[in-house]
Amino acid sequence: MDTLSVPQVISSQDLLKHWQGHRALTRRVIEAFPEKDFFEFSIAGMRTFAKLTDELLAIASPALKGIVNREVKPFTEGDTENLTTKAQYLQKWDEATKEINDNWAKLADEDFSVTFNLFGQYEFPIIHNILYFIDNEVHHRGQGYVYLRALGIEPPFFWERQ
């Protein structure tokens, strides 16, 4: 595996806290949706927020587990196909949050500079993969904000990530 020299500008624990702050905010966005609209509302042919959440759930915990175990698996959203209520999504979200924390504890600081082939498609240093997880979530959460505003619902403040 190739390595990349990365100066430390944030600790591993601070990065996890940052990521989990984003996850807590995304959870509140899920909660803000009316049940029906979570599964049915979209704008201009974009995916519903349930479908966007499927993607987020398929990336975060499974990808981090793959990184920790150095196991390259293809991307799949199969783990959410039987979820039919917002409560089930929130439970799955909470389970993934715990799994992320558990797997994060298995990463050594040196691991972040190691190249990993995420989903067999994206070969980058692990730190870049993790930043992608966060960026992707922020992007899709932004779509959720647009949906909530279109539904006349005030979304959570983006800076409140506790």
pLDDT tens-digit profile of 2-52? 566 656 678 999 999 999 999 999 999 999 999 999 999 999 999 999 999
pLDDT at 131 > cutoff 70: yes
The predicted structure's pLDDT at residue 8: 67
pLDDT at 1 > cutoff 60: no
The predicted structure's pLDDT at residue 42: 96
Residue 49 CA to residue 125 CA, distance in Å, equals 29
Residue 56 CA to residue 39 CA, distance in Å, equals 15
Which H or E run includes 124? Answer: strand 122-125
Residue 102 CA to residue 96 CA, distance in Å, equals 10
Tokens 């779509």 belong to residue: 143
pTM above the 0.85 mark?
A: yes
Sign of CA dihedral 63, 161, 150, 92: positive
Q: Which domains does the chain have, with CATH numbers?
A: 12-150 (1.20.120.450)
Buried b (16+ CB within 10 A) or exposed e, 108-117: eeebbbbebe
Residue 126 CA to residue 110 CA, distance in Å, equals 10
Q: pLDDT tens-digit profile of 40-89?
A: 999 999 999 999 999 999 999 999 999 999 988 877 767 777 899 999 99
* 56, 136 Cβ separation under 8 angstroms: yes
